[in-house]
Structure 1
Amino acid sequence: MAGRIARRGAALVLGALWWCSVLRLALVSDAGVLEGAVAAGGWGLSLLPVHCVPKSRAAGAVGSDRWWDHWREAWRRSRGLRG
């Protein structure tokens, strides 16, 4: 329970810090590199794929040894050709 509260508190503080830096960049003329770095870093973190699973556990994943065959088969199917 304490871990969950700490995580939510950290997320709230970091989110507020990010929003402050973004608003300062947008509204204040003397915003500097620090605000830009915080804003870019927070935006970059939002691009992390947090819902990924290993390929071995992914449903319908094609192994790296079969990737080319799978791609070629999908290409032929889209063109109406048969192997």
Structure 2
Amino acid sequence: MTSARTARRAAALGLGALWWWAVLRLALEPRAGVLEGAVAAGGWGLSVLPVHCVPRRRAVGALEAGRWRRALRTASGASPSGRPGAEAGSGSEVGSGSPSGVDGP
């Protein structure tokens, strides 16, 4: 376990040093080329990856699957079961009455 952690840290340190070399060479050397640019852009691109994401089921405030599909079906007048005119619920949901979502004249 400790050797794997040490290897990860060494790899991160080595790749970080390589990225800084490329960035400093681009900034300070007038003849810096495509290699330095590719390393710098690739390292920056990796830094903006969303590595702290969690699965949607575990995310706080995540919407359940199918929410938009149900809302669009309800707003278009179709029931979630796919049968037009069949009421989906008790009528307390937004858009369960008329297609505009407003009941009455």
The two structures have a TM-score, normalised by structure 1, of 0.77
Hey, what does 1:73 align to over in structure 2? none
Gaps of 5+ in 1: 70-82
Point out 4+ residue stretches in structure 1 off by more than 2 angstroms. none
| Structure-2 separation of matches of 1:67 and 1:13 | 46
Aligned length, in residue pairs: 70
Hey, what does 2:9 align to over in structure 1? 8
Hey, what does 1:47 align to over in structure 2? 48
Gaps of 5+ in 2: 72-101
Report the AA paired with residue 30 of structure 1: R
| Structure-2 separation of matches of 1:24 and 1:64 | 48
Hey, what does 1:37 align to over in structure 2? 38
The offset of 1:67, in angstroms, is 4.3
Report the AA paired with residue 67 of structure 2: R
| Structure-2 separation of matches of 1:57 and 1:67 | 19
Report the AA paired with residue 31 of structure 1: A
| Structure-2 separation of matches of 1:67 and 1:27 | 52
Q: Let me know the Cα RMSD of the aligned residues.
A: 1.5
Q: Share of identical aligned residues, percent?
A: 69
Greater gyration radius: 2
| Structure-2 separation of matches of 1:57 and 1:9 | 32
| Structure-1 separation of matches of 2:36 and 2:68 | 43
